[in-house]
Structure 1
Amino acid sequence: MDQQTNGRSRVPTPQGYSVLSLALTVLVILMALFMLHNWNISRAASDGELRHISSVVQQGSRANMAMRHSNIINVAAQLDTVPDSRFIPEVQGILNNYMALMTGVVSVAYVSKQGDFQVQASRTEARQTQVYSNFMQAFDESEREHEVVDAPAYWDAAHQRWLLPLIYPVERPHAGYSGYLISMYDLGYRMEMWGRTHLSVDTQIAVVGTDALPRYSVPGIDRFHAPEGKAFLQNVIRQLRKRKETEGPITAGWPDGEGGTQFYRVYYAHLGDDLYSLVIRPVSVFYQAYWNNIQFALLLFSGLILCVIVLNHMVIRQHMRHRHELEYKAHHDPLTGLLNRSRMLQLINLDIEEQANQPLTLILINVDHFNRVNDQYGHSAGDRVLCDMACRINSLISAHDWLGRASGDEFMVLLRSGQNPSEQDVLIMALMAALNEGYRVDHRLVRVSVSVGVAAYPGDASEADQLLGKADAALHRAKSEGRAQVVHYSADIAHQQQREKRMMRALDGAWNRGEIYVVYQPQVDCVRGSVRGAEALVRWNSPEFGLVPPDEFIPLAESSGLVGDIDRYVMREACLFNRVMSDMHNQPLQISVNISAYHLLEPSLIPEITQLLSDVGLDPSRLVLEVTETAMLNDFERAAQQLSALRTLGIGVSVDDFGTGYSSLAYIHKLPVTEIKIDRSFVEKIDSDLHDRTLISAIIAMGRRLHLEVVAEGVETEEQWQILRQQKCDVLQGYHFSRPLSSEDFVEFVADHPRRAEATG
């Protein structure tokens, strides 16, 4: 009582989580303010860095522009000192000296007012004879203002460069030499100068005209000549036309050519003459810098918020639930309210510890074919049947006995009242009679039967897990012997268990000792009768147990976890044999290998097969892995992923025993399979049972429609072959053609098969 009172006193009141909710709200607000503040700081720092780069660009551009103007005015001043009689020759020398001294100038010329080139110095052999028409306006402006004028830049296609003409008037009317000096400046030289300037990897500098055409750029101008680059510059110029400021930051999008857009931060500055300098940097750089600034604090805030959320959740959960409810759910089955398996085992062990001499009897009751009830009547009807069964069992056992639900359709009854064996048998028979009666569900009568396994303490086991294992072994025997009966654990069952344990020990490593070997059953083309391939089948010849059938040792391998090693052994032997057939006998065949459900879902399956094919040097298309419907339906999503990976490698995938499950048609089109194998149970009566013949015809038609190869196994007669041939089955396998053969006999069979096929017509 004191413990319960203390437990209730620790349950917080609603005011407790009101405070926590307020704390959570405050933390969220503080985090939002912090992020906003850092956003503004980071944006200002980023724009400030771009502004600094832009100012450096402007200073360099303006200083360079002033120097160019000053130099051409000096040249004009030198021309004024040249005597009229020697004007042309000396002008040529002056211009040549100017070219030699001035970097970035590609040509300089003295041009008459009519536009004819009188004197010209150039770094190339090409000479101009006529100025461009768009220079005329610049001629007039320079003569009117009597100063150096920048004519519009133009693209020199011959040398793949932008040129900027500088024009200055020369007045010598008395000598008839009035005209203009034209200096052609290579804008690419500026690019080389900036290329030596230290810029961050993500930053680009460009000078662009109001026509949205780039004059020069660092690094590289090619990006701006692409359609995406042109669209970006047009976007920038449209924004600049709307702005009154001569410089500042803007954001513009650069299309990526795939329907998306990458955004850039652009700091622009007006250079004059309809030119703008642009400093361009991806917005993502800012985002990264912003994240670097806030991530530590953000993680701290997030941690605090998460702590508050978790604490708040715990408080609410403690307030809404009580300790005894949690304990009840931990120990009871939610559907029937009975004790669950783990709780029953705990109580049995406690009972054994407290009363070691008291005899106990554990009864396991399993409903036969209960899945049919769910399939036919629905899961809700099945749940009601289980609840009704629990009530019937509970009404027959004493108050001292325990009843629990071990699994979905299995109940546990522990008899603790000390009944003698005959009394227990009477009770068990009464339980079976009561449970085998019909169950009324939605005005329908549902009938089921039950199988019972019984084990006793201390005669059969000394602790709870052992007792459950013995009762389960007895129940398994009851089901294997026809169901609807009672089996007590006995020496015979113990002997069988011991045999299985010895067989498991003998099976471990049998493949390394040469006890496990592979045989090959030929697969024959249904129409041509030629050998198309084989199915690799595993056999075990044990020194202790003799030749053990696969249906006996494969389940043991699956339950013991050895089936993966056996699969790997068979697969390696089959691949090596296939390679030998291809290399030595010039008979490349397709080998089918069965793979277990356990091995199919292993994460290492794909790397192992990839390595095996590489080691052996086998074409993946020569390997087909056969999987059963059960293997795929145990974990459909995982199985589908593994099969898709196998198909990517080029390996074929076959569904074995197709048609024997409940959901073949529901899943077959969802899986990357290449082949279906019709189960032998359909083939064996195809020549006498019209229903089976119709069913096989439907399966073959479905396979053709889904572009799947259809293999029929279990073909034992000529009549079966001819019927399947008429129905256009693709491949046949069975004793009519050959039993499973050793590798040597299979080679002989393949070599001799054409002669025998021809002899049989």
Structure 2
Amino acid sequence: MNELIAADAYADNVVHVDAHIRPAPNRTAGTVYAVFSTAILGDAEGEFQGLVTDMDISFTPQRIFADLVNPHPLEPVNANTPLTEVETLFNSFVEALAVVDDNGHFVGAVTRNSVLKALLNRERELLIKTRELNLQIAEDHEKLTLWSARLAELHLASRTLLSVLAHTQIENDILQSGIEALCHLLQARYGAVSLINDADELTHFLHTGLSEAQINGIRQLPQGRGLLGAVINENTAIRLENLAADPRSVGFPPGHPPMTSLLAVPVANLGRVYGRIYLCDKLDGTPFLPEDELLAMSFATSLSLILDNAREIQEIKRGQQHLYQLAHFDRLTGLPNRELAHDRIRQALANSHRHQTKLAVIFADLDNFKHVNDSLGHAVGDELLKAVAARLKQCIRESDTVARLGGDEFLILLPGITDVQHIIAVAQKIKDTLQPLFKIAGQEIFISISIGISIYPDDSIEIGELLRDADTAMYHAKNSGRNNFQFFTEQMNAIVQRQMRLISVLSGALERGQFLLKYQPQIALRTGKMIGVEALLRWQSPELGDISPNEFIPVAESAGLIIAISDWVLMEACLQGKQWLDQGLTGLRVAVNLSAVQFQQPHLAEKVRQALAATGFPAELLELEITESIMMSDKNAIITLLDELKALGTQISIDDFGTGYSSLSYLKRLPIDRVKIDQSFVRDVVIDPNDAAIVTAIIAMTHGLNLEVIAEGVETQAQLEFLLSKGCYYAQGYHFSKPVGEQTIPALWHSGFAVSRGEDC
């Protein structure tokens, strides 16, 4: 006979699939998937990527086929490769091999099962030929020769099974082929092999020798209560010449064809029983002989060794899949991690280059997520991240990717883009899908997202640059008010580079003494007397010159430098206030701004207490200014913290009132002393009826709550007269004085300011 080659062992359960789809949940067990890249310009298929087996899918069924393909597969074998060579290529990590023709085109696949079937078919042919030869041997040597040949054939079959299946798991078609081969070898009329699990539940039952009508007449599978149960329970073989004479034969199900003789052996190894094999009635009517039992036991032992190996390899594969999962997927959200995301980008870039399409790289970062973690705890923060990940996955196509890069940063990859409007639609959908409140651990949480977008090849053709550009655009979205998306531009890049330069220089500014405080007087309009000052931070950088607070304070907040700077401002303002007090400026109040970041610190009140104690500055002369936006966070926690600050004896005011989101129901609960009208309303108060109405309402409201009101940004006499007419008697602004150094304040204190007269509010 001709030598068997790979072409003789093609698997018939090979399905061609696209690399960017996911396996169907109702897929056929045992299928081998030939993975091809997306079809190009109407071609039937794209390029062959590799093979994926049902075992590969079972551990991570949600992944696309591109991620299931072994990144380091064996080279495909030629269709004319001898099957003996193909057999040696299987190991514990290879379950299927691709086969190509002389031109390198994919023509099929071979599996351990298909190789086994080819070998078993060859063995059947050999058995037939052996039987024909044996019939020609003399009568007196026929029996000895027959058993000798059968024993050799079974040993060969056992060795073949071990070599082909040593690293796989038993499947129905293999068991079917095995029981058919054994029945043919021992000339049995009926035969069956059954396997059980650790709970003694039947998992496999394959039989041969029964017609379709006989199978339909059997109402249930053997239950293992009688003879067959004894084989498993006692781990022993049973050979009976007359089955009816044994009372244990009642274990066979009703409808089973009548049987006379029985040979049953356990499938067991080292005391562990995997199942049983039973054969009934030899074709020539003779009983089963001890030699038959020996052959059946040898076959069952080989099968048990295969099962042992299969279960061990299955555990190894589970471990490998677990390690792969840990290495490539985020443990919290289950999304692809940074490493897998970069691999997906590389694949997408190659496809975009080949198909001449665009690729969008989207960086998305949650707004104020750190505050959620700090105020509600990391457990709530983790649940929020999982909920956000679930919503993000609803915004993308099957071929897109959403990954978690770490913390609250996500990456969304949109390949195959032909219209930029699709990118805009996805970005808007991401924003919209996060708008509904998240309900986690009894808390209602609002979270928004800032999004940056770069496009291949418009912005760059390099992975690193695309990622950097998307990050730059996201950073710009943060600085543009958050909760928006921005496309990368070179102008934006220049702005970000400026901010990076600021961070670099700012990081050492405090230690180098580059910060100073200016003080803007606050005036009682009835008397013209200075009643207080607001401490305003300034930065004089030798490298960059004078930097506006509007520019460097947001940078300090984002870089994590604002806490140290704010602590310095508090201490410096208290120290200067004490010096003025010692100089006779009795009752001069010093106002210090507190940022939202400071309110996230757990020991703010203690820091204020320490500053007052260290400088000797009276608490009643220290005014702490907060913004309305602080009330957007946990209102009850903020009120508790303000109560702690108020308990120290300090005064508290709301800065920039009217620009935030606080409601009157919370305002009346706050332990505050005064409200500062934001300068944006004061600026046009004499020409804009809306601003005039707002300012009038704020003044009336504060009077109703028994609070003082002070107007910021007063620059003209007309503004001053309007405020006086509405009952506001405290103000600050350039109409009186710009922010000045500490040495100027005593002179202004003593000289006072010329203002119109009114009555105190």
TM-score, normalising length: structure 1: 0.45
More helix by share: 1
Q: Look at both structures and tell me which one has the larger radius of gyration over its CA atoms.
A: 1
